[in-house]
Amino acid sequence: MKTVSILGATGSVGTSTLDLVEREPDRFRVRALTANCDVDGLAAAAQRTRAELAVVADERCLPALRDALAGTGIAAAGGAQAVCDAARGADWTMGAIVGCAGLGPVMAAIEGGGTVVLANKEPLVSAGEVILAAAARTGATLLPADSEHNAIFQCLDAARPASVRRIILTASGGPFRDWSTERMRAVTPAQAVAHPNWSMGAKISVDSATMMNKGLELIEAARLFPIPADRIEIVLHRQSVIHSMVDYVDGSMLAQLGPSDMRVPIAHTLAWPERMATPMEPLDLVKIGRLDFEAADAVRFPALRLAREALDAGGARPAILNAANEIAVAAFLANRIGFLEIAAIVADTLDRFDPPPPGTLKDVLAVDAEARRLAEELVQGHGSRVEGCVA
C-alpha cells in the first residue's frame, strides 16, 4: 500500500487527487492532507480518507479544525512549519499549494527522498535550479502533474535526448485566442475565468487567457527535460485533445491524447510506473472529428515573449516573472487593473529589478518578495508608464 500526502487538498488539483485515491482505498493510505483555511473541506476529506493528519496553513483556523475532527482520531496541526512537517514521510506527495507558499513544503517533501508530484509552477519556475539540485542530492523522484508536462514525460525517451528534435507544448489559446488586442482591452474577470476547455481555478484560468500559463510551462519544460530551450515550441491546439508532443530526429512524432480532465495525468503519477483506472470515458475520435493546430501569437499575447526572455536570461528572471504575474493577476481579478495591464506590469517589474541569481530557497523567496513589492507599486500607480507598455 502506497502512503500519500496531498498538499493543497481542497483546491482543484487536490480534490481531483482525492477522487482517485478514494476510488482505490486498498491501494493508497493517506498520511497527511493540508489546506490554507478551508476547515470544512479539509475535515471532510480527512474523515473520508481516514487520514492520519490534517493541517491548516493559517494557524488561526486550527481551533476550528480541531473541533471539526474531535473524536475522529485524526491529528490536527496549523501553521507554515506544520505544513512543511506534513510534507515529509509519505511515499508519494502531491504538491498543489498555489503560489510561493508551496515552495517550502515541496522542498520538505523532496528532502524526504520519495516521489514528489509537481502541480504548482513555482518550484520549477521560481526555484528550478535549487529544487533540481535538492532532488539530485536526496534521490527524490519528481513527476509532473500538468497535463502538458505529463504528456511529454510519457512520450519522451529521456535516456536518449540526442534523438529528440523538438518538444511541442500544445495550448488551447484560452477564451481570447481569436480576439484582437483592442477587443481584449475591455475583458472582464468573469470573461477571463471562463476557459473553453478546462475547469480550473481563477488564477490559472486568467493565466491561460493571457497565455502566461503556457510561458510558465515553457520554463518548467526546460527544467524538467534534458532538451535545449530553443527546441521547445508552443503550438495552439483548440481541442485540447493532444496534450503535448515529442518530435524525433527520424521523423517520428509521439503525442499523448486524453480528455481535458486533470485526473488523467494525476492518475499516471499516482500509479507510475504502472497504470490505474480512472472514471474517464474513452476518447471518441470519430466524435472529435478533427485536430487543428495554429502558430502562437506572441504579439497579441506578450506573456509568451516575456517568459521566453526570462528563460533565456536565467538567474532570477523566471522568479521575478512569476511573482509579478501573481500580483498583476490578483489585481485584475479585483478589478484594480485592466486585462492587458497584466503583461505590462510583469514587463515593467522585469525592467526595474535584476538581482543576482538565487542560490538557495531563502534567496528565491527574497527575490519573490521584492518582485511582488515592485509589482504592487506598479499596480497602485498603473497610469502612463504601464499604459505605454501595453501600447
CATH of the domain at 206: 1.10.1740.10
One domain, residues 178 and 229: yes
Residue with cell 480528455: 259
Residue 384, domain extent: 149-260+284-390
DSSP 280: P
pLDDT 10s digits, 162-191: 999 999 999 999 999 999 999 999 999 999
Does the structure show a pLDDT above 50 at 375? yes
Is residue 59 included in any domain, yes or no?
A: yes
Q: What is the mean pLDDT of residues 149-155?
A: 97
With a pLDDT cut of 70, the percent of the chain lying above it is 97
* CA atoms of 345 and 380, how far apart (whole Å): 11
pLDDT of residue 385: 39
One domain, residues 125 and 154: no
One domain, residues 250 and 379: yes
Is residue 155 included in any domain, yes or no?
A: yes
**Residue 162 — left, alpha, or beta (φ > 0 → left; ψ -120 to 50 → alpha)?**
alpha
By C-alpha distance, which of 380, 301, 310, 378 is closest to 345? Answer: 378
One domain, residues 173 and 241: yes
pLDDT of residue 77: 98
pLDDT of residue 121: 85
Compute how many other C-beta atoms are within 10 angstroms of the C-beta atom of residue 184.
19
Domain boundary among 92, 126, 144: 144
Domain boundary among 122, 144, 166: 144
pLDDT 10s digits, 97-142: 987 889 999 999 999 999 999 998 889 999 999 999 999 999 999 9
- pLDDT-derived band at 389 (thresholds 50, 70, 90) equals very low
One domain, residues 176 and 315: yes
One domain, residues 14 and 69: yes
Is residue 265 included in any domain, yes or no?
A: no
pLDDT of residue 391: 28
Return all residues near 379 (Cβ < 8 A) that are at least 6 apart.
327, 328, 331, 336, 337, 345
Is residue 191 included in any domain, yes or no?
A: yes
One domain, residues 160 and 103: no
- pLDDT-derived band at 194 (thresholds 50, 70, 90) equals confident
| Paired residues of 236 in beta bridges | 171, 294
One domain, residues 92 and 20: yes
One domain, residues 93 and 153: no
Domain boundary among 123, 144, 165: 144
pTM above 0.85, yes or no: yes
Q: What is the mean pLDDT of residues 41-47?
A: 98
Does the structure show a pLDDT above 50 at 74? yes
* CA atoms of 330 and 203, how far apart (whole Å): 7
One domain, residues 182 and 128: no
Rg (CA), the chain: 21
Total domains in the chain come to 2
Is residue 266 included in any domain, yes or no?
A: no
| Contact assessment for residue 112 and residue 217, using Cβ atoms and an 8 Å cutoff | no
Is residue 279 included in any domain, yes or no?
A: no
CATH classification of the domain holding 125: 3.40.50.720
pLDDT of residue 60: 97
pLDDT of residue 198: 62
One domain, residues 221 and 314: yes
Does the structure show a pLDDT above 70 at 158? yes
Q: What is the mean pLDDT of residues 344-371?
A: 96
pLDDT 10s digits, 271-314: 999 999 999 999 999 999 999 999 999 999 999 999 999 999 99
Among the residue ranges 62-66, 128-132, 203-207, the one predicted with the least confidence is: 203-207
Is residue 268 included in any domain, yes or no?
A: no
Q: Is 344 helix (H, G, I), strand (E, B) or coil?
A: helix
**Residue 99 — left, alpha, or beta (φ > 0 → left; ψ -120 to 50 → alpha)?**
left
One domain, residues 136 and 157: no
| Contact assessment for residue 352 and residue 320, using Cβ atoms and an 8 Å cutoff | no
pLDDT of residue 100: 81
Is residue 179 included in any domain, yes or no?
A: yes
Q: What is the mean pLDDT of residues 355-381?
A: 96
